[in-house]
Chains A and B, each alone.
Chain A
Amino acid sequence: MAAVQVQLPLPVLPEGWSAEKDFKAIGTLSPATQRNIEPVGPHFLAHARRKRHRRTFSEDDR
């Protein structure tokens, strides 16, 4: 999907913020919900192909 465009600006980096390689992992994702995706449509088929061949999005992009 195309990237969303956000006009509002990112905040200024707070004084004294530092992290190794400028990245700080902080929290973890909330537990996911298990559901069925409908096996229908071109995007599902691409998903199924990636899953069966254990490929990532970027590998698929190539």
Chain B
Amino acid sequence: MSADESIEAAPAETFAIGISFGNSNSSIAYTSGEGKAEVIANEEGDRQIPSFLSYIEGEEYHGAQAKSQLVRNSKNTVAYFRDYIGKDFDSIDPTPCHASAHAQKHESTIAFSVQDTNSDSPSTLSVSEIATRHIRRLASSASDFLGKKVNAAVLTIPTNFSDEQKEALSESAKNAGIEILQFISEPVAAVLAYDARAEAIISDKIVVVADLGGIRSDVAVVASRGGMYSILSTAHDYETAGTQLDQVLIDHFAKEFIKKHKTDPRQNERSLAKLKLEAEATKKALSLGSSASLSVESLADGVDFSSTINRTRYELLGGKVFSGFIRLIEEAVRKADLDVLDINEVILSGGTSHTPLIARRLTSLFPQTTNILSPSTLASALNPSELPSRGAAIQASLISAYDPSDIAQNTHPALTATPHLSRAIGVLVISDSESRGVFKPLLEAETAVPARRAGLFAVPGGGGDVLVKVCEGQREIKVSKPEPKSKSKPQVNGKAGSEDDGDEDDDEDEEEEEEEEIRETIWKVGTVLAEAAIRATKKGAKVEVTVNVGADLGVTITAREVGGKGGVRGQLLEKGGGGRENGSA
């Protein structure tokens, strides 16, 4: 034993939470004894804590209190800095900070010049230092709430955060007394938040996570296979997010103000800051009610202003922004080489996802079979703003007992880089002919190996000898014109199919009356992999077929009559010969 080791104090117990750290808001969560994730409110009672710091006479303000300083003390208020962490000035867009302390070039990094002490000259605070102060405040709120010192966390990051950014963020957290156990990506955290609920049933599904935030929107298409997640595609947009919706309302109310008072409140910094804060509050109120008011004391030239707007008007005015969200989602689906018909679930995440119109638009974009998980479409939906932090808290509870070296191993490509099936594997039913048989998938495409799935199949009327024909299958989209006379609504609809719920039409061109195509997914049977016979099955029997694909892509198939004796077991020939032995199970 080395001298160093002997004097080292026993390592402090790890007490970890989940943190989501956005450019606009942060959120902290923990898991209760029963493994349920709970979001923590800070001292002000906020569960969405603005990622803002502000300084007045040397005193630090955080969260909502700091955000309100945008009106009077914008120069000493730091906001929208998360994406700058670990970046150099030349690679960033400084515009989100134009109404608060400006992002500046500082050595190899970015800094803010802020009067954070009582001295006369401002300090230059690097983005790392700002992040440390912010995380310290979050951790202290969590510690106060939980009555125990938090010293570790799982933290969510966008899918396009670089290794340098992770490293810088880790360092910032460490300086705040928080060990980052693991970074997990925001969309995957959202999927986990839903999957970890007690009532969730783990199934094979394709999930679109639309994370619509304040200054950015991110979409990811995730293959969820037996509770394991692989990201198939991502799309990002820094010009279509909550800020643009705020702007729609700012412009609307500014025009109204100009009409009455001949002054544009957007021309004056302080007036604009007031209007922006209130417009955001109005926007949030419009997610709940069919109309909302706005009132600002002394908006400009000492004139008070108050007005109301109804939701329909707002939805019309914001049409371009809303269409932008839809386009981003379509782009991500396309990038994954998928069709809207392939999407089983859409998780609406991020603050802007509270907007009912977005869910409504998605209901008409996707077929009826797609579950849209949002507050306005599903009573049991989780709060979109809380998904990442909940997911992070669940992951924290899963790994907080692990050694750091185990976590490092788990997140290393040696463990995560995995072959995924490019085609589904399934069984033909009804007919043994590849053209007439119906393909029933057991393992879906994009399943990581090793993987195993089983199916219980019926036998023909009287039982007897049956054939188990295992094939690959490929999903295809079949497009057809509906029967001319039929009045029934098509099962599925593509883009054109916004046969809405009677609401007023969106501001998009209407091509009604034109016959709608019917688009549906069908399975095309591909390579036949193997055949097996199950003999003398009883009337009404069930045959269980299990397909197991090993880590080396070796395939083992077993088939047996449920409750019967024996059964058949065999392995596929490996590519390039080298047949394997077959035998009875």
Q: Which residues of A contact B (CB under 8 A)?
A: 1, 3-14, 17, 19-45, 47-48, 50-52, 56-57
Contact = CB atoms under 8 A, between A and B. Distances in A.
Contacts of B582: 20-21, 23, 25
B421 interface: yes
A32 B189 contact: no
Nearest to B414: A51
Contacts of B528: 26-27
A11 B202 contact: no
Contact of A43 (B226, B465, B527): B226
Q: Give the size range of B's interface with the partner.
A: 35 or more
B533 A17 contact: yes
A55 to B, nearest CB: 10
Nearest to A8: B429
B411 A39 contact: yes
Nearest to A4: B455
Given A11-B429, A37-B230, A41-B229, A4 B532 contact: no
- Interface of A, secondary structure class, is mixed
A3 B421 CA distance: 19
Contacts, number: 245
B457 A37 contact: no
Contacts of A1: 202-204, 226, 453
Contact of B231 (A32, A38, A42, A47): A38
Contacts of A7: 458
B531 interface: yes
A62 B227 CA distance: 20
Interface in B67-82: none
A35 B230 contact: yes
Contacts of B431: 11
Interface in B450-481: 450, 452-461, 464-469, 472
Interface in B215-252: 222, 226-232
Given A31-B422, A38-B184, A10 B452 contact: no
B150 to A, nearest CB: 21
A21 B581 CA distance: 11
A40 B584 CA distance: 38
Contacts of A19: 531-533
Interface in B544-585: 544, 548-551, 553, 555, 557, 568-575, 579-580, 582-584
Contact of B530 (A3, A26, A30, A40): A26
Contacts of B26: none
Contact of A21 (B410, B548, B570): B570
A24 B204 CA distance: 28
Given A9-B430, A14-B467, A43-B228, A25 B579 contact: yes
Contacts of A32: 419-422, 449, 553
A57 B532 CA distance: 23
A8 B427 contact: no
Given A23-B532, A40-B188, A50 B579 contact: no
A39 to B, nearest CB: 4
A57 B120 CA distance: 67
Given A11-B431, A17-B533, A27-B572, A41 B227 contact: yes
Given A10-B458, A28-B527, A30-B526, A23 B432 contact: no
A28 to B, nearest CB: 5
B529 interface: yes
A12 to B, nearest CB: 6
Given A28-B574, A51-B551, 16 more contacts: A5-B455, A8-B440, A9-B429, A11-B432, A13-B464, A13-B467, A17-B531, A21-B570, A22-B584, A25-B573, A26-B529, A29-B421, A33-B420, A34-B419, A37-B230, A48-B415
24 contacts: A4-B455, A8-B429, A8-B438, A10-B543, A11-B428, A11-B466, A13-B535, A21-B583, A23-B568, A24-B530, A24-B532, A25-B529, A26-B528, A29-B423, A29-B555, A29-B572, A34-B417, A34-B420, A39-B182, A41-B395, A41-B398, A47-B448, A48-B409, A50-B450
